[in-house]
Homo-oligomer: A and B are copies of this chain.
Amino acid sequence: MAKTNLDEFAYKAIINLILKNHFKPGDVLLETELSESLGLSRTPVRHALGQLIAEGFLDKKKKKGCFIPLTTPEDARHVFYAREHIEGLAAASAARCATDGDVEYLYGLIDKENKVQNPGTHASKLLYVEINEAFHLSIARFSQNKYLEQYCRHAFCRSNVYIFFFDKYYSSLTLDGQVSGPRQHLEIADAIENRNEEKAEHLMRQHVRTTFEQLFIKL
């Protein structure tokens, strides 16, 4: 796992636990428990929890501890609204700033995405999630604006909580075989390659909104 300090190890471990649906919204994360289960002292765990709170992935009440934020339809709308617009902004910036190599990288990801084997299996889902994340975060990075990138990352991760929570999303997607992701990804990459800022922004917004709507079709 490369040479990393325990703070970071704890941070990633906890994020993983959250994303892997190990906790439910409202659950309390105890420093003591976590440190025991991770085989660390409380110090790095506490530090990691502090980060997560600062980043808005956890909530906290004084002397009461950290807990997984409650997922509500309203909150979901808020994250996705933010994601839609900020990622749109990043896509526009990327269309302006991305290098040829950057664009190539995007096409590479789309290629991988299209070659995912055995749709419907758990492994294929994980792979798809991974590629999807790489695609979105790459565009954020290609905006070459550290702040936009930071906000994109945050909103993306935060929205992932919902995606993992309502796991049915990926199930339903693969069920009807109509995975709109890759197609939309391709269009976005094209717009970036053509340096068409407005189109890139528009398509990215639409793409994020599609994701949201497919997720929350039942709300």
A residues lining the B interface (CB < 8 Å): 5, 7, 46-47, 50-51, 54-56, 62, 75, 78-79, 81-82, 85-86, 89, 145-148, 150-151, 154-155, 158
Copies assembled: 2
- A interface SS class: helix
Which B residue's beta carbon lies closest to that of A11?
B54
Give A85 to B86 CA distance when docked, in angstroms. 9
Task: Give chain B residues whose Cβ lies under 8 Å from the Cβ of A55.
Answer: 54
CB of A1, distance to nearest CB on chain B (Å) = 15
B82 touches A151 (CB 8 A): yes
Nearest residue (CB) in B for A51 is: B54
> Which 5 residue pairs are nearest across A and B when measured between Cβ atoms?
A82-B147, A54-B54, A78-B145, A51-B54, A151-B151
A48 nearest CB neighbor, chain B only? B50
- B89 adjacent to A85 (CB under 8 Å): yes
Chain B residues contacting A56 (CB-CB under 8 Å) are 146-147, 150
A50 contacts across to B, CB distance below 8 A: 7, 47, 50-51, 54
For residue A55, which residue of chain B has the nearest CB?
B54
Could you name 27 residue pairs across A and B whose Cβ atoms are closer than 8 Å? Answer: A5-B62, A47-B47, A47-B50, A50-B51, A50-B54, A51-B51, A51-B54, A54-B55, A56-B146, A56-B147, A56-B150, A75-B146, A78-B145, A78-B148, A79-B147, A81-B145, A81-B147, A81-B148, A82-B145, A82-B147, A82-B151, A85-B89, A86-B86, A147-B154, A147-B155, A147-B158, A150-B154
